[in-house]
Structure 1
Amino acid sequence: MAGVFSSAWFYWAIGIAFGLPLGLVILTEWQHALQRKHSALLRPVTILRNYLFPLAALLLLMLEANQIPAHATSVRVVGTLVAFVVLVLMLSGVNAALFQSAPDGSWRKRMPSIFLDVSRFVLIAVGVALIFAYIWGANVKGLFTALGITSIVVGLTLQNSVGQIISGLLMLFEQPFQIGDWIETPQAKGRVVEVNWRAIHLETGTGLQITPNSVLASASFTNLSRPDGKHVVEVMTVFAHDDPPDRVCAMLTRAASELPLCDPNRSPSTVPFGGMQYKTKIPLKSPGEDGKAKAMFLRWIWYSARRDGLHLDEAEDTFSSPELVEAGISKVVGPTFRLSHDEHQELIEHAKIELYGDGERIQRAGEVPGGMMFVLSGTVQMTANLEDGSEVVAWTQDEGSFMGQSTLTRQRVLGTAYAVGEVAVIYVEREMIADLVQRNPLLLQELGRTIDERRAHVLRAIDQATDTDID
């Protein structure tokens, strides 16, 4: 019995028997603490707890407790596993400490993944070679010599291709763009969806554009997403010589600010560009909205220019002739106001036909209408504004209905009106409406009742939307 206590293997066995569970408990607590903090060191600690610590205990148990010779195959196998896990742990620890926890904007954060992958592969190859050389006694000098000669031959043979790859990798190291950025190259314009060692993939409107990194490294391109919040789309338009430039600029700027894609934190602007041309700059949240915003803007100013008496592309307005106005009054205004023949003829001089494109705002909440509008064709959607700035649909109006009746009481409207599809309306000035109402007191009572009903509609829609949000 005394011989057992005097043997070295006994103390190794006791130390491993108590040290392994204790170490696992300590590493487990450390692992849970890192997991709660979402630390980048979680993976290295997990490798240490699950693989390296048990394998190291097994290796010590075989060498010291069981006294197995170091050159035995079983010991070499376990030693190889321990050495390989140590190599993986070192790579994982360096990656977590230097790159995963790197602050934004630092060179460590800008390091392309391809460089890390290549470096990791080289280190693993060297580590495996050293493991086989020192544990298994393999001669790896010849292997390294052959690899060196082969790399020289391959480099001389493919020097142009390798040079392009290196130039592309250097460009990736600089990182002039990131995944999700919009860039414009001589070949295409699109959003970066993938970057690898050979090329970048751009998602364009016509498909996936594959552009080699070497092409971008040797040419200039534009990153439309940087700096953040500075992207604008420029639209050129042409108006007639006789159109006042200030009125044209005001109309174009107003139409641009009404676009739902316009950045609400920035304001559009318009300047004369000479030769009847005007340039409008529309701030957008994303370069991906360029095409849609430009198409909507050009469609809306076609209608807006004609309503303001301007001549987009030097075109003349032909849809508000006296004959068409007279037909529209007979269709929707006359039956509503019960006009006599003389009143009908008198009203023609104080009315006009206006067209609105799909989605255009016809009436804004909070404004005092300058006159009344009678819907000739199309559908108008009335919305109510909520406290958080969003809108909820209150009701819709079709052909024969009217809006802007609060122009007589000079009250601000509660709801906003939008065109659903193309909408044509008869617009009648406030003074003429007031004159007609004075001649017909019953009509004033009906308009007052309509005002109260529509205000009740708006308030009811707001209450219902609020109750829905609470639920």
Structure 2
Amino acid sequence: MLALGAAPLIYLATLALGRWLKRAHHVPLGLMFQLLCVALAAWAPLRVLRADGTVKSWQDEGLRAFHAALIILSTIFALQLLRRLYWQRWFARKHGAEAPKLLQQVFAFAVFCVAVTMVLKVAYGFRVDTFIAGSGIIAVVIGFAMQETLANIISGIALQFGKPFTVGDWLIVDSQRAEVIEMNWRSTKLRTNDDYYLDIPNKAIVSHTIVNLSYPTKVHSNRIRIGFEYAVPPNRVREILRRATANAAGVLESPPPKVYLRDFGDSAIIYEIKYSLDDERRFNDIEDAIRTNVWYEARRAGLAIPFPMRTVEIRRPAVHADKLTADLREQLARQEILSPLDDTQKDRLLEHAQIRRFGRCEKVIRQDSEGCSMFVIIHGEADVVIHANGTDTTVATLHAGEAFGEMCLLTGEKRSATVIAKTDCDLWEIDRAHLQPLIHENASLAERLSELLARRRMATEGVLAAQTPAQVVEQKRQEYAAGFRKKIRSLFEI
């Protein structure tokens, strides 16, 4: 009776231990733990009674049942405790990530098989070795039938221990770029940039060469090949390709892009661009941006990407010269900064007109960079972006007929903002070399340009506000005009 009276105490003690583990280590407790407490409270008194020789036959059967339940439930609780304290804590702290689910599942399955063996041998007295030997033929048959599955499981275990990749890594598998989404006992699941899901058996993964784009760091390089005509000097092509690549969104500044002359092809010299990125999800967008920028850079430089010899070249007719001249003359008449020029000087400026085409999102000029030209928008739109305090802010959008870069053209100051093509843009670039002869011929032109720049600077800084005294406005105007006059005379060597 004393042994039976101890059952409630054993139940409460075990339950208290479980509650402490839950509070101290957040070990999940549920119905299985409650059953474990009941099984232990029932098995311990019966075990004592059996040792005293007072147990009855039906009690002996109950003892075996509770013993078997105790082994199974204790194994389940031990696995939960192991998962919380070892897999999720110690393993994660040591390796920097939670243990792979496949490794946890394989270990739990092995431990559970041992527990079942103990139940059969200890609780019920079965000869497990005889059972295993007798079922050898069945095991061989099952092994042949499941050899593919077993191969996948073994390969999955090898992947877990070898760790050639982890969830979140980007791989190249059979020429496909894909992100690892899940690794389980049978297969590895991946997702491509096009949101296609690939379910590749572990055996197939192990048997192929794996290219991990995310190890040891996410920074990695890609290469693009492009051909240019034989007549173009290689160093000139390299500069164009480097600039086009560096301006593509997503390309890392460090390490900087490189360009190699790779081959002399049948119809072109083949160049190879090497660039770096750290986000494989943007791979398609980055390659599109690079190729697009190359096209625009090549067009602005007057270069052509050769057609293959086996194709027929078809060229679209160029814009009629008279129509282009009329458009430029119209835009020129709207430019206040060029209003001091007379008609003859404007015609001479038009003779040297250079039309530059920029693609959407291309940077036309960069803040704080040197320059010697201004731009007039013929077609399209462009955003004016200022970088300050680590932030890029769009302060204005320029439209057809508007100009930018005149301060850099006339005074040599660095660019005060970055201008980015919002749409495909046709720009008229007016170079300092074409304006300089006109200023040399007309000394008063520098004076008028200085006054015009002074008024624009005052308007920008708000000096022309209504509340500003007229004397202050005039003094400021003269101060600005004198400063600009000095810069123009020095820059244009007047």
> Same fold judged by TM-score > 0.5?
yes
Structure 1 Cα separation of the partners of residues 461 and 261 of structure 2? 42
Indicate which of 434, 445, 461 corresponds to 1:439. 445
Structure 1 Cα separation of the partners of residues 73 and 455 of structure 2? 84
Report the equivalent of 1:327.
Answer: 326
Displacement after TM superposition at 1:277 (Å)? 1.7
Structure 1 Cα separation of the partners of residues 177 and 388 of structure 2? 39
Report the equivalent of 2:185.
Answer: 197
Change (3 A) 1:451 1:289: same
Report the equivalent of 1:234.
Answer: 223
Report the equivalent of 1:218.
Answer: 207
Report the equivalent of 1:302.
Answer: 295
- Aligned to 2:190, the other structure's residue is in SS state strand
Per-residue Cα deviation, 1:374-407 (whole angstroms, up to 9, x for no partner): 110111111121312x312111010110100212
- Aligned to 2:91, the other structure's residue is in SS state coil
- Alpha carbons 1:368, 1:406 under 8 Å: kept: no
- Aligned to 2:411, the other structure's residue is in SS state coil
> Superposition pairs for residues 354-365 of structure 1, below 5 Å?
354-365=356-367
Structure 2 Cα separation of the partners of residues 102 and 382 of structure 1? 52
Indicate which of 344, 347, 350 corresponds to 1:348. 350
Structure 1 letter corresponding to 2:426: A
Q: TM-score, normalised by structure 2?
A: 0.74
Indicate whether 1:404 and 2:419 are aligned.
no
Indicate which of 96, 107, 117 corresponds to 2:105. 117
Structure 1 letter corresponding to 2:456: T
Out of 155-164 and 253-262, give the one that drifted further: 155-164
- Alpha carbons 1:353, 1:426 under 8 Å: kept: yes
Displacement after TM superposition at 1:133 (Å)? 4.8
Displacement after TM superposition at 1:49 (Å)? 7.7
Displacement after TM superposition at 1:269 (Å)? 1.0
Structure 1 Cα separation of the partners of residues 161 and 140 of structure 2? 25
Displacement after TM superposition at 1:354 (Å)? 0.5
Indicate which of 16, 23, 29 corresponds to 1:32. 23
Displacement after TM superposition at 1:234 (Å)? 0.6
Structure 2 letter corresponding to 1:82: L
Displacement after TM superposition at 1:444 (Å)? 4.3
Displacement after TM superposition at 1:297 (Å)? 0.7
Indicate which of 170, 178, 190 corresponds to 2:158. 170
Displacement after TM superposition at 1:271 (Å)? 1.9
Structure 2 letter corresponding to 1:329: L
Displacement after TM superposition at 1:288 (Å)? 3.1
Report the equivalent of 1:273.
Answer: 262
Structure 2 Cα separation of the partners of residues 455 and 209 of structure 1? 59
Figure out how many residues of one structure are paired with residues of the other and give that number.
Answer: 438
> Superposition pairs for residues 27-426 of structure 1, below 5 Å?
28-29=19-20, 31-35=22-26, 42-43=27-28, 52=36, 56-57=40-41, 59-60=43-44, 69=55, 72=59, 78-96=66-84, 99-100=87-88, 101-102=90-91, 113-131=101-119, 133-135=121-123, 144-145=132-133, 147-157=135-145, 159=147, 162-163=150-151, 166-167=154-155, 169-186=157-174, 188-205=176-193, 207-275=196-264, 276-313=269-306, 323=322, 326-336=325-335, 337-338=338-339, 339-388=341-390, 390-407=391-408, 408-426=410-428
Q: TM-score, normalised by structure 1?
A: 0.77
Displacement after TM superposition at 1:248 (Å)? 1.6
- Alpha carbons 1:319, 1:353 under 8 Å: kept: no
- Alpha carbons 2:33, 2:77 under 8 Å: kept: no
Change (3 A) 1:211 1:202: same
Change (3 A) 1:140 1:324: same
Out of 253-262 and 438-447, give the one that drifted further: 438-447
Out of 181-190 and 69-78, give the one that drifted further: 69-78
- Alpha carbons 2:91, 2:98 under 8 Å: kept: no
Per-residue Cα deviation, 1:247-297 (whole angstroms, up to 9, x for no partner): 221221122112221124421111222322211111011333322211111
Per-residue Cα deviation, 1:87-146 (whole angstroms, up to 9, x for no partner): 12333344455544226886x989754354234224323413433554456676775455
Per-residue Cα deviation, 1:66-86 (whole angstroms, up to 9, x for no partner): x99485266555544432221
Displacement after TM superposition at 1:202 (Å)? 2.7
Displacement after TM superposition at 1:419 (Å)? 0.4
- Alpha carbons 1:380, 1:417 under 8 Å: kept: yes
Per-residue Cα deviation, 1:319-368 (whole angstroms, up to 9, x for no partner): 69965653342121223234543122110244311110000011211124
Structure 1 Cα separation of the partners of residues 226 and 320 of structure 2? 26
- Aligned to 1:393, the other structure's residue is in SS state strand
- Aligned to 2:380, the other structure's residue is in SS state strand
Structure 1 unaligned regions, length at least 5: 1-6, 36-41, 457-471
Change (3 A) 1:162 1:135: closer
- Aligned to 1:102, the other structure's residue is in SS state helix
- Aligned to 2:273, the other structure's residue is in SS state strand
Structure 1 Cα separation of the partners of residues 326 and 289 of structure 2? 31
Structure 2 letter corresponding to 1:380: A
Displacement after TM superposition at 1:443 (Å)? 5.3
- Aligned to 2:231, the other structure's residue is in SS state coil
- Identity across the alignment (%): 20
Structure 1 Cα separation of the partners of residues 39 and 156 of structure 2? 42
Structure 2 Cα separation of the partners of residues 246 and 141 of structure 1? 78
- Aligned to 2:364, the other structure's residue is in SS state strand
Structure 1 Cα separation of the partners of residues 406 and 356 of structure 2? 17
Out of 271-280 and 118-127, give the one that drifted further: 118-127
Structure 2 Cα separation of the partners of residues 153 and 33 of structure 1? 48
Change (3 A) 1:149 1:91: farther
- Aligned to 2:422, the other structure's residue is in SS state strand
Per-residue Cα deviation, 1:421-451 (whole angstroms, up to 9, x for no partner): 2011111013545646953855544444434
Report the equivalent of 2:490.
Answer: none
- Alpha carbons 1:406, 1:451 under 8 Å: kept: no
